[in-house]
Amino acid sequence: MVSTLRKRLPEARFQVVDLVTAKSEHDPEVLEVIRFRGRFMKSCPGTRHYLCCGYRILHFGVQCSLGCTYCILQVYLNQSNLRIFGNTKDLFQELDAELEAHPGRLFRVGTGEFTDSLLLDPWTQFSRELVPVFAQRNNAVLELKTKTNHVENLFDLEHGGHTIVAWSLNAQEIVTKEESKAASLEERLKAAAICAEKGYYLAFHFDPMVEYPDWRRGYGSALECLFDCVKPRSIVWISLGAFRFMPDLKHAIHTVHPHSVMPYGEFIRGLDGKMRYFRDVRVELYSFMVERIRHVDPNLCVYLCMEGGDIWRQAFGYTPPDKGGLPAMLDRAVRERMGVVGEKG
């Protein structure tokens, strides 16, 4: 990893230290490369109070420098600088061991939980190692989730139809005001269209959805732009999630992003301790999106991130247990859209 960074960043200064300690304040000029000694494969940090998708996280780094005002990483992690794990050989050994131990199980694996999957990819080249590994596995798919347009490294890879390139999307007003350092909505969708031309499958995540005065027009326009750029058949799933946050995040947003209005509204504390919009607001947000998406493709897999069965019932007319459970719904989407044959074990 360090050798690759030296080649890709010839003007950067490299310093070798015995110990990288956590910093209380972020230094945007610093990228930390460490030997990670924990587990690389983790389960999605869901909660028993809400329905979880059964996602597996491939942990390759932490933090993000895109500066989205609402980012949970501001209070979730105890280090502020971008940090990636240099011992990728250990990462791949652990990944191979888990996939080989359960050959009959279908693994949905993502790298975008604790950092942006492609933020540093132009310099780390990590996707060039990762994507071909999944191309050789008939019981696993990889999801790379990003708010960038850093997709050039993917173009000439043998992906075998086992990689989903995914984007977090939002209404243009939210992108402009709250995601100012990320790629624009147009740039993200153009990158998605190119990836589709290269044979990659796609996914999109409208999370966090924000209630603001003109949200119907904003999210309706975002969906129109999405389906103008990519064909529905290339999309494996779309997820929806209303803005929610740990109480500590409000102070962080107020301190770091004083002009943001994200946490200033009517919220209630959910069963997981996070502040959430009232139930009727969330149902209205979701129902609007579900209706618009179904009008384009009634069979496209759409799901809610960390919501209860009552919200599902009101927004969709059914709950995941009616369909065999949320993990089963997403597994079916992988098989039907991507043709991956692994069976859930």
For residue range 87-130, list pLDDT tens digits in order. 999 999 999 999 999 999 999 999 988 999 999 999 999 999 99
* Alpha-carbon distances, residue 237 vs 175, 324, 330 (angstroms): 21, 17, 8
Structure confidence at residue 344 (pLDDT): 41
Q: Distance between CA 284 and CA 259 in Å, rounded?
A: 27
Q: pLDDT digit string (tens) for 119-178?
A: 999 999 999 999 999 999 999 999 999 999 999 999 999 999 999 999 999 999 999 999
Report the predicted TM-score, pTM, of the whole model to 2 decimal places. Answer: 0.95
Q: Are 285 and 222 in contact (CB under 8 A)?
A: no
For the 2-336 domain, the top CATH level (class) is alpha beta
Tokens of 325: 């459970």
Give the separation between CA 167 and CA 229, rounded to whole angstroms.
13
Check residue 20 and give its pLDDT: 84
79 within 8 A of 108, measured Cβ to Cβ: no
Look at residue 345 in the predicted model and tell me its pLDDT: 38
CA distance 273 to 286: 21
Q: Please give the helix or strand (H or E) that residue 236 lies within, else none.
A: strand 235-242
| Closest C-alpha to 179, from 102, 98, 119, 224 | 119
Low-confidence residues of the chain: pLDDT under 50: 343-345
| Share of residues in the chain with pLDDT > 70 (%) | 97
